[in-house]
Amino acid sequence: MERTFLMLKPDAVQRGLVGQVIARFESKGFKLVGMKLMQVDRALAEEHYAEHRGKAFFEPTVNYIMSSPVVAMVWEGKNVVALAREMMGATNPANANPGSIRGAFGMDISRNVIHGSDSVTSADREISLYFKPNELVEYQKVGQEWLSE
Ligand code: GTP
Ligand code: MG
SS3 helix, strand, coil % of the chain, rounded to 5? 45, 15, 35
Question: From the CB of 110, is ligand 1 less than 6 Å away?
Answer: yes
pLDDT tens per residue, range 23-64: 999 999 999 999 999 999 999 999 999 999 999 999 999 999
Check: pTM over 0.85? Answer yes or no: yes
CA 61 to ligand 1 centroid distance, Å: 8
- Cβ atoms of 106 and 9 within 8 Å: the answer is no
Q: What is the pLDDT of residue 46?
A: 98
Active site (annotated) includes residue 52: no
Q: Is 92 in the pocket of ligand 1 (CB under 6 A)?
A: no
Express each pLDDT in 86-139 by its tens digit.
999 999 999 999 999 999 999 999 999 999 999 999 999 999 999 999 999 999
Q: Is any ligand 1 atom within 6 A of the Cβ of residue 106?
A: no
- Looking at residue 47, its amino acid is E
Quick one: pLDDT at residue 148? 87
Q: How far is the CA of 86 from the centre of ligand 2 (A)?
A: 13
